[in-house]
């Protein structure tokens, strides 16, 4: 279904089959993923959307925490979705995984309680960063939550590690705006307000930041 190019989960140097192992090794995921899931905090009857779900780790965790919430998870890569679907089946969790980019999905405006997106925005082209944030805001109900975890502004040692790891696999053109603070700028959108303090974690691949925003 993908009618345009995208950077796959593990970048252009490694296959998607190695993604989960690379994330375990290079991102301290046992620290930031539980924090993100705590912020997502799925509740019965809520409708959740994950953008760029990769191998499905977060979507499966969200659904496992609250079976009465609807979790839809999209990604343009059929290979990574096959892994996600297998993981969900093995764990007996039903997630609605859908192939495609955000703008190829026919979702009603203002129809989600929570939208979340992790480790995607750093690896998409600059114009796609803007389009994705814009698209996610449009799909949130007023009062709905936008939860982001990603490489954002980097400095000092973290900038060096980011250069040696993420930028080697995902390239510089798409990732440098994040290292320079573009994500923080985009999240200052006037339609959003801060709902929890921004958090961050130093990792072997650079600093991963968490942002919680509410749609006004």
Binding site for ligand SAM (CB under 6 A): 6-9, 23, 51-54, 57-58, 75-77, 80, 101-102, 118-120, 123-124, 128
- Nearest of 132, 128, 117 to residue 4 by alpha carbon: 128
What's CA 113's distance to the chain center, in Å?
16
Cα 100 to Cα 92: distance, rounded to the nearest angstrom: 24
Contacts of 102 (CB under 8 A, 6+ apart): 51, 74, 131, 132, 135, 136
Choice between 165 and 190, CB closer to ligand SAM: 165
Choice between 101 and 112, CB closer to ligand SAM: 101
Choice between 54 and 144, CB closer to ligand SAM: 54
| Cα angle: 184, vertex 76, 191; to 5 degrees | 30
To the nearest whole angstrom, how small is the minimum distance from the Cβ of residue 121 to ligand SAM? 9
To the nearest whole angstrom, how small is the minimum distance from the Cβ of residue 137 to ligand SAM? 15
CB count in 10 Å sphere of residue 102: 21
To the nearest whole angstrom, how small is the minimum distance from the Cβ of residue 144 to ligand SAM? 19
To the nearest whole angstrom, how small is the minimum distance from the Cβ of residue 24 to ligand SAM? 11
């Amino acid at each position: 279904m993908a009618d345009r190019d995208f950077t796959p989960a593990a970048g252009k140097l490694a296959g998607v089959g190695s993604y989960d192992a690379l994330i375990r090794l290079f991102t301290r995921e046992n620290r930031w993923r539980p924090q993100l899931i705590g912020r997502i905090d799925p509740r019965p009857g809520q409708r959740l959307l994950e953008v760029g779900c990769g191998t499905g780790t977060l979507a499966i965790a969200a659904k496992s925490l609250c079976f009465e919430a609807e979790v839809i998870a999209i990604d343009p890569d059929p290979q990574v979705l096959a892994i996600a679907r297998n993981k969900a089946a093995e764990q007996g969790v039903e997630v609605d995984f859908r192939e495609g980019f955000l703008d190829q999905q026919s979702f009603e405006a203002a129809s989600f309680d929570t939208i979340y997106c992790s480790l995607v925005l750093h690896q998409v082209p600059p114009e796609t960063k803007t389009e994705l944030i814009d698209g996610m805001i449009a799909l949130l109900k007023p009062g709905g939550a936008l939860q982001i975890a990603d490489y954002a502004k980097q400095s000092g040692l973290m900038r060096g590690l980011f250069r040696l790891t993420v930028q080697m696999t995902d390239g510089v053109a798409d990732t440098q705006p994040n290292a320079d603070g573009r994500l923080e700028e985009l999240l200052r959108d006037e339609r959003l307000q801060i709902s929890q303090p921004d958090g961050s974690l130093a990792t072997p691949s650079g600093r991963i930041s968490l942002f919680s925003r509410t749609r006004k």
